[in-house]
Structure 1
């Protein structure tokens, strides 16, 4: 790390430690995630899901930015240089006596849904959305720690024991790994409630207690939902009918629109659960959408020629040429239906700086083996199974288990089993 100066330690986990560093090149401060395990090659480094996901998702205003990857070939050490945020959501609400204002809650949740929508549209789901993995700096929220992420298009079943228990969706708890990107929305709904109430929504002590806590509030699911779950579970289960107290009794200080969105995000059946993209269109976020629309209009007014950015003077009878009309119509459509970066609109991935010994400048990004490849018809992006050195070949229906451990940002352990 000849280009960085260590300022202090931020935290430590089982597989890594995070340090605050200052760049000697630009003077800016960064978070350095230093892995504890050693690596043998650049290929092993590049096969880490966390690195591949951040390459795909960056840049985005609500995804943690990966600035640099430092790999020392001689010692086998690996470090990820990321942007430095002020704190995570758990640290923000821990010890607070007064809830955050609903304006702040709405702003944070809008940004979280933006990050989830961007991630899901790019074929990735996180699998471990929780307050400790959501970072804030002033009024900006960013999702981090992609060590558990998977491809939306990869084969089920997935790993059963995934995501922190308190934020684990019913399909994760009740099936043998048959879940989808909708699990992220459930977790975000649990975070939503926790930000608003300063208390976890479903603080189960174990998996059985977790299901019980969910049923106490939401009630037992419909028979058709249980039937779907039973089809992908080796062991049968039946629950005595329970109506559930309802979330409304616990969130009386929140607006009806807030309660409506929260209930849609924690719908028991994932097929009935709202998606991140649908959540962004919810009436609860009307103010945020209007602000974005105004910012877009201001940008066009500032950066486009006057005859495109503003209407002509009153009483002017000249007629705009057909080409000019098409341009205006295109701008109007863009305002009403903004294009999103998604599965059908792939862009070139940002190139990583992969140092060798200190910097591996000779290692070019286009030659990196990527999990992001096009499907057989060239339309749907498919994440290829990760191939880590020494990993044995698995069947298509099994979750890939590379011989390399997946690294995650250290989190603050909670009392009460929130892990």
Structure 2
């Protein structure tokens, strides 16, 4: 089906869909959205808050900056394919419809609207979040990761801005960088936001796996607990150094393995260093949280806690917490 989108002079977005070129790009014959505010902007898109005139419900509309030549090209987007494969799931953001205007090549994705992202939740916060709330959020996040990985997709851009919340509900969003787990490396090197980029992404020429997502989960977990980022590197080398300062340098055999996978932009001959440890940075955190964060931030991806194991650990911790109240 073909979608025709226009921005009306009064600030309304009128969306009409006609034709039967291909199913799946739209679901209704006509829909209008009133634009309310701009929520954010990235390299490839901007996100707007809008209200559906028909039912008064608010939505988030992701307007892509790239132009698309055909509906086939739209339906082949990894983000759309991933969301269709992963839905429905309580911890994956829901894609409501796809709006495509073939004459102009414009594309917009309509999502359910959440209250805020994790970055907005902790930004400028003076008091720590409650233990039960933290564990409940992280349990939902690892459930989303487990569902995604079991369905053959890894996200590649886990960070606080891509994790949305509404009251007690958490949902993973922004699948624009995702890839199939069973596709062959090397992958794009400079994927993921630097502060949340796993060591294997930094130290090899694109040889990493879905375990990179779990490193990002560990960084996010730490940040929700501490209210500050764990590895805020200013560049690639500084990022590696900040990791080594806390986690320590990898054992020689792991470093040799990474050297064989190539790194044309960094010297991998690091002087041995024992990291200061994560637990010293979050002395207020319960031991089970610290232990899980450390497992998620294992330098060797083969030793890194996967989604299902992380979820089990959090479930046990949450059960113990609730039973003690």
Q: If the length of structure 2 is used for normalisation, what is the TM-score?
A: 0.86
Report the alpha carbon displacement of residue 12 of structure 1 after superposing the two structures with TM.
2.4
Moved over 3 A (4+): 287-291
Q: Which residue of 2 aligns with 1:272?
A: 303
Q: Which residue of 2 aligns with 1:104?
A: 133
> What are the within-5 Å matches in structure 2 for residues 389-404 of structure 1?
none
Report the alpha carbon displacement of residue 24 of structure 1 after superposing the two structures with TM.
2.6
Partner SS state of residue 302, structure 2: coil
Structure 1 residues 117, 231: closer, same or farther in 2, change over 3 A? same
Q: Which residue of 2 aligns with 1:48?
A: 77
Q: Which residues of structure 1 form unaligned runs of 5+? A: 292-419
> What are the within-5 Å matches in structure 2 for residues 277-316 of structure 1?
277-282=308-313, 284-286=314-316, 288=318
Tell whether the 8 Å contact from 2:132 to 2:318 is kept in structure 1 after alignment: no
Structure 1 residues 111, 245: closer, same or farther in 2, change over 3 A? same
Report the alpha carbon displacement of residue 74 of structure 1 after superposing the two structures with TM.
2.1
> What are the within-5 Å matches in structure 2 for residues 152-301 of structure 1?
152-235=181-264, 237-282=268-313, 284-286=314-316, 288=318
Give a deviation string over 1:177-223, Cα, whole Å, max 9, x none.
11000000000100000010011111111111111101101111111
Tell whether the 8 Å contact from 2:288 to 2:317 is kept in structure 1 after alignment: no
Work out the CA distance in 2 between the residues paired with 1:63 and 1:288.
21
Structure 1 residues 44, 126: closer, same or farther in 2, change over 3 A? same
Work out the CA distance in 2 between the residues paired with 1:272 and 1:196.
23
Q: Which residue of 2 aligns with 1:91?
A: 120
Of the three residues 62, 65, 69, the one matched with 2:98 is: 69
Give a deviation string over 1:64-115, Cα, whole Å, max 9, x none.
1000001112222111000001111001100001111111110111011011
Of the three residues 55, 68, 72, the one matched with 1:39 is: 68
Work out the CA distance in 2 between the residues paired with 1:23 and 1:289.
40
Give a deviation string over 1:6-40, Cα, whole Å, max 9, x none.
22222223322211111233221110111223222
Work out the CA distance in 2 between the residues paired with 1:75 and 1:62.
34
Identify the structure with bigger relative contact order (alpha carbons < 8 Å, sequence gap 6+). 1
Q: Which residue of 2 aligns with 1:121?
A: 150
Work out the CA distance in 2 between the residues paired with 1:115 and 1:234.
31
Work out the CA distance in 2 between the residues paired with 1:287 and 1:206.
36
Bigger radius of gyration: 1
> What are the within-5 Å matches in structure 2 for residues 290-369 of structure 1?
none
Report the alpha carbon displacement of residue 48 of structure 1 after superposing the two structures with TM.
1.1
Partner SS state of residue 303, structure 2: coil
1:15 equivalent in alignment to 2:44: yes
Work out the CA distance in 2 between the residues paired with 1:247 and 1:290.
23
Work out the CA distance in 2 between the residues paired with 1:288 and 1:25.
41
Q: Which residues of structure 2 form unaligned runs of 5+? A: 1-13, 16-30
Report the alpha carbon displacement of residue 288 of structure 1 after superposing the two structures with TM.
4.6
Work out the CA distance in 1 between the residues paired with 2:317 and 2:273.
37
Partner SS state of residue 20, structure 1: strand
Give a deviation string over 1:217-251, Cα, whole Å, max 9, x none.
11111112112111101556211111111111111
Q: If the length of structure 1 is used for normalisation, what is the TM-score?
A: 0.67
Q: As a proportion of its length, which structure holds more strand?
A: 2
Partner SS state of residue 238, structure 1: coil
